[in-house]
């Protein structure tokens, strides 16, 4: 390990902040939230502010918190090690950087309750919680309790945030709605908005990132591109369109009349099993352009209370097998199956997959990452610049068409959907989409809303 005293003299170049980052670097409120949208240069600003404070106040103790260790490493530790190489010493065993002037930056994560216990006894002067909306208010309060101590160093708490996440509600309350409760002093809170468009460095190196945000349906685009905190309510798949005569043009609709599937198209089967709830088995045909069509659906309830089991697993899978051996679109074809990974779970007795195997119905495990999965569903549903989506539903698939537009946003995790609703087809759709992920489609120029000056809308930004 290197000793501070042996460090050679080296010039530190931190780079140039953009105007929003500069506001963040200069802000002296006790609580400062920075962000509002994705890719605004938040983590960069956290690192630079932590380094500036370390030099400005010799002996200060700073902590940077992120939810998981891999995120902490890839967003902060790696960059800080590089930035401060030869100037300060990083110790992996303690995950701390020590400066020759005695200042220390601690890197900490908090993925579960056990990690939270580690904060007890830690005392710091300045805390940065990066992506604070990934924490619940209770977790945030426990981490915040580390900011204490009797010395003359400033005591500050910095948060970076995007709309969405389990902490959406408390961050919005404190910094956007500015509704305070007893013990909270309004003058101590400041909010600085930064949008991805403020991050010229990223816009230059990764213009695709903007394209991805623009391809989102309006509510998510408003949240992640424009930094709107009021949007996670109402219909989850707001882009879903069922235009009765849509089959004539197939433009700006997702629901079409069935047609005979060319034999050459690939067939997929996605499946979501509900314990005591509906199951959804969905057959998709994919054309030469990668466009998917929901062609057939088997949907039913696995167990109706007081009526006995209607659709026990063997009946479901033997029916799936029958359809696949008899239906003209499916018989004789190779079918790629993907299913809810929980059907491999044997902790409640025989795993459901055993019944599938027994009936010659085979599946790969679906990817159950929810938010990336919903993104894939949104990318598929998005209309391209000519009004064509990457997924259509035959109007005979009534459970899909009925349930998809009914789903609502979750109140608990704002950018997820409310899982207490009939989301079985949606889950099956998600497994299918994740098995064949696509890039977001190109949008029309007119959708570029980000040129508006956000300051006109957000007079409460700390300027
Ligand atoms: N002022 C800046 N100068 C140079 N590069 C920057 C600047 N601000 C951000 N970046 C770069 O832009 C990318 C995204 O910034 P980051 O801070 O990770 O965004 P966020 O945390 O808001 O998602 C990173 O590669 C980061 O290093
Ligand atoms: Mg970041």
Tell whether the model's pLDDT for residue 263 goes beyond 80: yes
* Rounded (to 5) percent helix, strand, coil in the chain: 35, 20, 45
Q: Give the contacts of 102 (CB within 8 A, at least 6 positions apart).
A: 58, 59
State the burial class of residue 379 (Cβ atoms within 10 Å of its Cβ: 0-12, 13-18, 19+).
Answer: buried
pLDDT at 453: 27
- The residue whose CA has the least distance to atom 8 of ligand 1 is 41
**Mean local confidence (pLDDT), 306-334:** 89
- The residue whose CA has the least distance to atom 25 of ligand 1 is 202
Top mutation candidate among 41, 71, 74, 196 for ligand 1, by most atoms within 8 Å of CB = 41
Closest atom of ligand 1 to CA, residue 16: 1
Rounded Cα–Cα distance for residues 312 and 133 (Å):
41
**Model pLDDT for residues 25-75, shown as the tens digit of each residue:** 999 999 999 987 788 889 999 999 999 999 999 999 999 999 999 999 999
DSSP characters over 91-124 = ETTTTEEE-TTS-EEEEEE--SHHHHHTTTT--B
Q: Give the contacts of 304 (CB within 8 A, at least 6 positions apart).
A: 310
Q: Please choose, from the candidates 94, 21, 8, 95, the residue with its C-alpha nearest in 3D space to the C-alpha of residue 52.
A: 21
pLDDT at 450: 30
Is the Cβ–Cβ distance between 299 and 281 less than 8 Å?
yes
What are the φ/ψ torsions at residue 173 (nearest 5 degrees)?
Answer: -60, -50
Stated length of the chain: 463
Q: Please list, residue by residue across 86-110, b when 16 or more beta carbons sit within 10 angstroms of its beta carbon and e when fewer do.
A: ebbbbeeeebbbbbeeebbbbbbbb
Q: How far is the CA of 131 from the centre of ligand 2 (A)?
A: 7
Nearest ligand, measured from the Cα of 83: 1
Would you say the C-alpha torsion 433, 436, 437, 439 has a positive or negative sign? negative
**Mean local confidence (pLDDT), 289-308:** 82
β-bridge pairing 278-286 and 292-301: antiparallel
pLDDT at 247: 58
Tell whether the model's pLDDT for residue 305 goes beyond 90: no
Higher pLDDT, 370 or 305: 370
Q: How far is the CA of 452 from the centre of ligand 2 (A)?
A: 23
- The residue whose CA has the least distance to atom 4 of ligand 1 is 201
Rounded Cα–Cα distance for residues 318 and 81 (Å):
58
Q: How far is the CA of 239 from the centre of ligand 1 (A)?
A: 31
pLDDT tier, 312 (very low <50, low <70, confident <90, very high otherwise)? confident
Task: Please report the domains of the chain, with CATH numbers, ordered by start residue.
Answer: 4-205 (3.40.50.300), 246-435 (3.30.420.280)
Q: Please choose, from the candidates 198, 247, 257, the residue with its C-alpha nearest in 3D space to the C-alpha of residue 227.
A: 198
pLDDT at 325: 97
Is the Cβ–Cβ distance between 207 and 201 less than 8 Å?
no
Q: How far is the CA of 47 from the centre of ligand 2 (A)?
A: 10
Angle between helix axes 424-435 and 370-381 (nearest 10 degrees) is 80
Higher pLDDT, 69 or 232: 69
- At 261, list the tokens: 């599937």
**Model pLDDT for residues 425-462, shown as the tens digit of each residue:** 999 999 999 999 998 877 654 443 333 323 222 222 22
DSSP characters over 151-167 = SSS--EEEEEE-S-STT
Q: How far is the CA of 188 from the centre of ligand 1 (A)?
A: 27
Nearest ligand, measured from the Cα of 22: 1
Q: How far is the CA of 224 from the centre of ligand 2 (A)?
A: 13
Closest atom of ligand 1 to CA, residue 40: 22
- The residue whose CA has the least distance to atom 2 of ligand 1 is 17
**Model pLDDT for residues 383-419, shown as the tens digit of each residue:** 988 889 999 999 999 999 999 998 999 988 888 999 9
**Model pLDDT for residues 330-363, shown as the tens digit of each residue:** 999 999 999 999 999 999 889 999 999 999 999 9
Higher pLDDT, 7 or 199: 199
* Number of alpha helices (DSSP H) and beta strands (DSSP E) in the chain: 17, 15
Q: What is the mean pLDDT of the chain?
A: 88
pLDDT tier, 185 (very low <50, low <70, confident <90, very high otherwise)? very high
Q: How far is the CA of 5 from the centre of ligand 2 (A)?
A: 33
Tell whether the model's pLDDT for residue 188 goes beyond 90: yes
Top mutation candidate among 38, 44, 195, 213 for ligand 1, by most atoms within 8 Å of CB = 44
Rounded Cα–Cα distance for residues 244 and 238 (Å):
17
Owner of token pair 């953009």:
18
**Model pLDDT for residues 165-184, shown as the tens digit of each residue:** 889 989 999 999 999 998 89
pLDDT at 283: 98
Top mutation candidate among 199, 203, 205, 212 for ligand 1, by most atoms within 8 Å of CB = 199
Is the Cβ–Cβ distance between 127 and 84 less than 8 Å?
no
Rounded Cα–Cα distance for residues 62 and 50 (Å):
7
Q: Please choose, from the candidates 166, 59, 66, 155, the residue with its C-alpha nearest in 3D space to the C-alpha of residue 108.
A: 66
Provide residues with CB under 6 Å of ligand 1. Answer: 15-18, 21, 38-44, 199, 201-202
């Amino acid at each position: 390990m290197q000793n501070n005293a042996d460090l050679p003299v080296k010039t530190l170049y931190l780079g140039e902040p953009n105007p929003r980052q500069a506001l963040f670097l200069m802000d002296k409120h006790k609580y400062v939230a920075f962000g509002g949208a994705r890719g605004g240069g938040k983590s960069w600003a956290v690192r630079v502010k932590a380094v500036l404070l370390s030099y400005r106040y010799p002996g200060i103790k700073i902590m940077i918190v992120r939810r998981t260790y891999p995120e902490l490493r890839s967003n902060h530790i790696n960059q800080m090690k590089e930035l401060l190489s030869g100037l300060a010493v990083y110790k992996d065993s303690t995950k701390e950087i020590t400066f020759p002037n005695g200042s220390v930056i601690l890197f900490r994560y908090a993925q579960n309750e056990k990690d939270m216990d580690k904060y007890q006894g830690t005392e710091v002067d300045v805390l940065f919680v990066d992506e604070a909306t990934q924490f619940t208010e209770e977790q945030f309060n426990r981490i915040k309790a580390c900011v204490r101590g009797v010395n003359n160093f400033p005591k500050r708490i910095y948060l970076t945030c995007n709309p969405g996440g389990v902490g959406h509600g408390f961050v919005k309350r404190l910094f956007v709605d500015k509704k305070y409760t007893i013990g909270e002093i309004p003058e101590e809170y400041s909010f600085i908005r930064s949008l991805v468009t403020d991050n010229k460095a990223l816009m230059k190196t990764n213009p695709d990132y903007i394209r991805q945000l623009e391809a989102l349906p309006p509510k998510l685009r408003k949240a992640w591109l424009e930094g709107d905190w009021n949007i996670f309510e109402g219909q989850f798949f707001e882009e879903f369109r069922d235009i009765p005569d849509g089959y004539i043009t197939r433009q700006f609709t997702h629901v079409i009349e069935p047609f005979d599937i060319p034999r050459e198209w690939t067939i997929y089967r996605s499946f979501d099993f509900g314990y005591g709830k509906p199951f959804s088995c969905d057959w998709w045909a994919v054309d030469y352009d990668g466009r998917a069509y929901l062609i057939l659906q088997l949907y039913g309830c696995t167990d109706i209370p007081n009526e006995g089991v209607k659709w026990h697993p063997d009946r479901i899978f033997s029916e799936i097998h029958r359809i696949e051996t008899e239906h003209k679109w499916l018989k004789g074809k190779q079918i790629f199956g993907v299913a809810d990974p929980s059907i491999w779970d044997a902790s409640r007795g025989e795993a459901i997959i055993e019944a599938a195997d027994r009936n010659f119905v085979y599946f790969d495990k679906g990817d159950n990452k929810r938010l990336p999965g919903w993104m894939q569903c949104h990318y598929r549903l998005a209309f391209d610049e000519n009004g064509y989506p990457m997924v259509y539903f035959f109007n005979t698939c009534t459970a899909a068409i009925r349930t998809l537009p009914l789903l609502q946003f979750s109140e608990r995790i704002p950018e997820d959907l409310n899982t207490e609703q009939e989301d079985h087809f949606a889950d099956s759709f998600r497994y299918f989409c994740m098995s064949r992920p696509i890039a977001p489609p190109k949008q029309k120029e007119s959708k570029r809303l980000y040129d508006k000056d956000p300051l006109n809308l957000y007079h409460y930004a700390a300027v």
